[in-house]
Amino acid sequence: MLSQLVNRCRPLPSGSRLLILGQGYSGKTVSQLFQSLGTPVLGTRRQANQGANDLCFDSDAGIAPSLSEIADVTHMLSCIPPTKDGHDPVLNQLQPLLRQLPLRWVGYLSTTGVYGDTGGQWVCESDTANPSQERSRRRLDCEQAWLQSGLPVQILRLPGIYGPRRSVITALQQGRARLMNKAGQVFCRVHVEDIAGASLHLMHCANAGQRPQIVNVCDDHPAPSSDLLRFAASLLRCPLPAEESFEDSHEGMSAMARSFWSENRRVSNRLLRQHLGYDLLHPDFHSGLQDCWQQDVSQVETFSDSQSAID
């Protein structure tokens, strides 16, 4: 729950101002945390909603914020993925503008997909990236471009992002969940509120002189997707979908799904947790899915119960 995070977080020093490029699922949660802590936030979308803090940035349409709109930004987080041809939309269009800002910290949300397949072994930031998918090779190129940009950049490598309205709970409710098992296969994940909490923590660390170039932001507990599905079904008290054998289902999978199942790795968060001292809000999927259930389901039920009482 974001309120839990807000209660234990220290705001940025006064005078700080955050720009979030790509205020989608993760960007919005980061924005909510910082605003709750009193830090002014500007955010971009491709179609801005015209709110006071809402700016328009669309690299395809060539629409970008002006210098006067973002002139006093001190911290920036890019949540925008690479273009199909492998370029970073932000660096492509905004780099000269960004160089004119008084930036103290620039975060780039990347993916742990750059590590490729480790056959289920643990992997950490000092290991050589070994992407096996074309999209992960493009991502690694973008990471390099950010690191060479001359800005005070930190790369946050993320595994699968989940949270309210985007988890196996949602998939079960919508009838999209599939119960599949492949021997030895695990997936790593991070709750979206931990992306927000870790971003703030990393800004504080950078302010105190600690800014490793690359940090994995993931929970403690890589696990098979079937474990999550079973736990989610127990929270929802609903039946599990019929179990499918991985071998039988593989043929009918989308190319994207097949690529996910083709890589098996355990991503270490030791740098984030032990060296930099970030305390995860959701160290494993039990805590994280319980939170999704509370935010997605039990609050809706409580609301409709109280509505019925009023009606």
Ligand X SMILES: NC(=O)c1ccc[n+]([C@@H]2O[C@H](COP(=O)([O-])OP(=O)(O)OC[C@H]3O[C@@H](n4cnc5c(N)ncnc54)[C@H](OP(=O)(O)O)[C@@H]3O)[C@@H](O)[C@H]2O)c1
Q: Which residues bind ligand X (CB under 6 A)?
A: 22-27, 45-47, 57-60, 79-81, 89, 109, 111, 158, 160-161
Task: Work out how close the CB of 111 gets to ligand X at its nearest, in angstroms, rounded to a whole number.
Answer: 4
Is residue 173 classed exposed, middle or buried when 0-12, 13-18 and 19+ CB atoms within 10 A define those classes?
middle
C-alpha to C-alpha distance for 300 and 297, rounded to whole angstroms? 5
Q: For the CB of residue 191, give the shortest distance to ligand X in the complex, in Å.
A: 11
H/E segment holding residue 143: helix 134-147
Structure tokens at 156: 């946050």
Min CB(80)–ligand X separation in Å:
4
Q: For the CB of residue 64, give the shortest distance to ligand X in the complex, in Å.
A: 9
Q: Minimum CB separation from ligand X for residue 23, in Å?
A: 5
Closest to ligand X by CB, 178 or 207 = 178
Q: How far is the CB of 142 from ligand X (least distance, A)?
A: 9
Toward ligand X, which CB reaches closer, 58 or 207?
58
| Residue appearing with tokens 């930004």 | 73
Question: For residues 86 and 160, which CB has a smaller minimum distance to ligand X in the complex?
Answer: 160
Give whichever of 46 and 207 is closer to ligand X, judged by the CB atom.
46
Distances (CA, A) of 200 to 45, 53, 57, 270, 302: 21, 19, 23, 18, 32
Q: Which residue is nearest to ligand X (CB)?
A: 24
What is the secondary structure of 67-91 as a DSSP string? HHHHTT--EEEE-PPPPTTS--HHH
Strand order in the sheet with 214-216: 54-56, 41-45, 18-21, 75-78, 105-111, 153-158, 214-216
CB of 6 to ligand X, least distance (A): 20
- Report the alpha-carbon distance of residue 207 to residue 100 in Å, rounded: 20
Q: Residue 110 or residue 234: which is nearer to ligand X going by CB?
A: 110
CB of 247 to ligand X, least distance (A): 25
Nearer to ligand X, 11 or 24 (CB): 24
Helix axes 134-147, 89-98, angle to 10 degrees: 10
Tell me whether strands 153-158 and 179-181 are parallel, antiparallel or unpaired.
Answer: unpaired
Q: Which is nearer to ligand X, 81 or 212 (CB)?
A: 81
Compute CA distances 26 → 79, 138, 187, 193, whole Å. 7, 21, 19, 8
| 3-state percent helix, strand, coil for the chain, nearest multiple of 5 | 40, 15, 40
Q: Which is nearer to ligand X, 208 or 255 (CB)?
A: 255
Q: How many CB atoms lie within 10 A of CB 186?
A: 17
**Can you tell me the distance from the alpha carbon of 4 to that of 214, in angstroms, rounded to the nearest whole number?**
27
